[in-house]
A and B are shown apart, each in its own frame.
Chain A
Amino acid sequence: MIDKVVPLEALDDLVADGESVALGGGWFCNHPMAAVRQLVRAGRRDLHAFTVVGSVDIDLLVGAGVLGHLSFSMVTLEAFGLAPNVRRAIEGSTNGSRPLGFTEWTGLALLLGLEAEGRGVPFLPYRGPFGSDIPAQYPELYKTVTCPFTGEELTAVRAIAPDVAIVHALRCDAEGNAQWDGTSGPDVEMAKAARRVVVTCEEVVSRAEIVARAHMTKLPGYYVDAVIEAPFGAHPTSHVPRYSSDPWLLMEYAAAAGGEDYAAYVDRQRGESEAQYRERVLGGGRGDVLATLAASAVPLPLSPGAGDLDLTGA
């Protein structure tokens, strides 16, 4: 029986310096943070990261000197502000180093570029971001094409083929059949576009457990090269339904990234294993709090006075 399960440290051999890496998740949800931390520990250099809506994942990689290029449609720390390291790196105010190269995509184009590669075509057309100044910045990525049937002018988006995709799933079996029950964001499109696919997951389970909830499998195993068990592997971003994001840590991160002692903040993460990270950050009941915050959140009743929805089985 095929077994793709490897330890987190195996990532050091799965991603080489200079490669392009698509990172899953979006907003403060489900970024593959255990893998991001491992890339920092491994001292990877000159990676070209792809993110659709990045946050603390991208800012940490930039701040730790891992990236040589950033392709994104948005990177933000939302209520906690602009991403400090991304700003500094692109604005060229990082001491002694050249500015970070970047490619700003329009969001739908980035997804369509990934989808094109996953479908084995060199580009996909759509009714594009007409009027936007972005396509003119990147004539090698955006072009105008004429529909061969109607003559309509469309935007062509070039296929995107990352060397590696890293995505974080809820559970996965040894063959790489991966399930999500909450936010998967761009994970599936990234995995289908990449030459090599790494799935980190909250837990590795048996094939029988995957079969029992087959409707939740979004990424079939034949796309996947390596499976890594990483509990709380999206922390400090969320992995619903297991745990909420950790806004306390995100606020602390934003302050650290904007402050003088950021190098020490990164060095501490670089110097500890993932298990030590979990013990330090999530010990003392904090992991339980984040799990409780996700478990106890409920929607509002659809109309006032209708009574709360029964969500006990959710």
Chain B
Amino acid sequence: MGTGYDLHELMVARVAAEVDDDGVVVMGSFTPLAYAAYMLAKLTHAADAYLVGFDAVGMAPIPLSFTGAEAAAYKGAVARWGMLTEINSIHLSNHGGVEAVSSAQFDGSGAINLSTIGPFASPKVRLPGGAGAAEVIKMYRKMVAYFPNHNPRTLVERVEFVTGTRWKVGRVAREAAHLQPGPIVVVTNLAVLVKDDDDRPFRIESVHPGVAAADVVAATGFPLEVPAGVGVTPAPTAEQVALLRERIDPLGTVKIDFVPAKERMAYLRTILDAEWARAARSIPAASPSPSS
């Protein structure tokens, strides 16, 4: 990768570019890459983006943290409402702007699998389930999917089980189904893929620096359109990188999904030690971090 930024920062910046001032962004489980992208957008080009995280409605941007994100979300929010009262209403009445999801499998129709590998009733791997994603990826104006490891076992020809799907993709089909028109944008560690027409496959919008379009095609289990002269994904700006490292994610939580599985727990421990230190600054007598 080029100097001055890391791959995950390029991905965060590209996801952030999809966030705009139109509609509501509802954050679900603590998925650091998506959270970082929303915060980056809010602090740069989309200051009026309306964020809902946990039950904090209209929240200010927050730093990523296992122990502080939730509490910080409430302190900068304009309202506090439970899941059904507000969050379901946002989805059901088509106020959703952007949703960024990841999944165990994703296919060229815009379907995600967060349910099962193997038969549904007797799974080989029981996955966590999709929560609201099963429905809301259909309802949001833009569906963004991100994958830290672009390979044909994740980006498959056909998901084994459809937990949820974009369902209608093109403008005419979406409007006829009472859905906001908007694309599917896939951001991976190799490239950016876009689909905005039911009858045409995903096309490569851009490849990341150093990646060839042929590598992307080879790593993708569904057909791709390769337009002539595919561009290179823009590098994050120095301002974006500085915001991510100094303000939004100083602990490096986004990188969790990018370290090798073997090193993952050790990496998490270093983050948790830093979180404990944040409390220890206020409580000098606190015992050492339990993770060390």
Contact = CB atoms under 8 A, between A and B. Distances in A.
A74 to B, nearest CB: 4
Contacts of A240: 54, 70-71, 74
B43 A304 contact: yes
A183 B115 contact: no
A126 interface: yes
Interface residues of B, number: 87
B54 A29 contact: yes
Contacts, number: 264
Interface in B30-57: 30, 32, 39, 42-43, 47, 54-55
Interface residues of A, number: 84
A308 to B, nearest CB: 11
B67 A293 contact: yes
Contacts of B42: 302
Contact of A297 (B72, B177, B178): B72
Chain A binding site: helix, strand, loop or mixed by DSSP?
Answer: mixed
Interface string B4-29: 00000000000000000000000011
Given A187-B82, A248-B291, A304-B43, A182 B55 contact: yes
B222 interface: no
Contacts of B253: 79
B85 interface: yes
Nearest to B68: A297
A153 B71 CA distance: 41
Interface string B50-87: 00001100011111011111111111100010111100
A75 B82 contact: no
Given A186-B83, A293-B275, A299-B59, A108 B138 contact: no
A131 B162 contact: yes
Residue of B47, B129, B164 ringed by the most chain A CB atoms within 10 A: B129
Interface stretch (B147-155, B210-218, B278-286): B278-286
Nearest to B104: A82
Nearest to B133: A107
A244 B84 contact: no
B256 interface: yes
A286 B178 contact: no
Given A107-B132, A183-B54, A298-B75, 8 more contacts: A73-B132, A74-B29, A107-B136, A112-B84, A130-B165, A130-B167, A133-B120, A240-B70
- 5 smallest CB-CB distances across A and B, nearest first, come from A297-B68, A299-B76, A107-B132, A106-B134, A299-B60
11 contacts: A72-B129, A76-B129, A82-B128, A107-B136, A114-B84, A131-B162, A183-B55, A238-B71, A248-B291, A292-B279, A304-B243
Interface of A: 26-29, 52-53, 72-76, 78-80, 82-83, 86-87, 90-92, 99, 104, 106-109, 111-112, 114-115, 126-134, 137, 180-189, 218, 238, 240-241, 244-245, 247-249, 251-252, 255, 284-286, 288-290, 292-300, 302-304, 309, 311, 314
Interface of B: 28-30, 32, 39, 42-43, 47, 54-55, 59-63, 65-76, 80, 82-85, 88, 91-92, 111, 114-115, 120, 122-136, 138-139, 161-167, 177-178, 243, 247-248, 253, 256, 265, 268-269, 272, 275-276, 278-280, 282-283, 285-287, 289-291
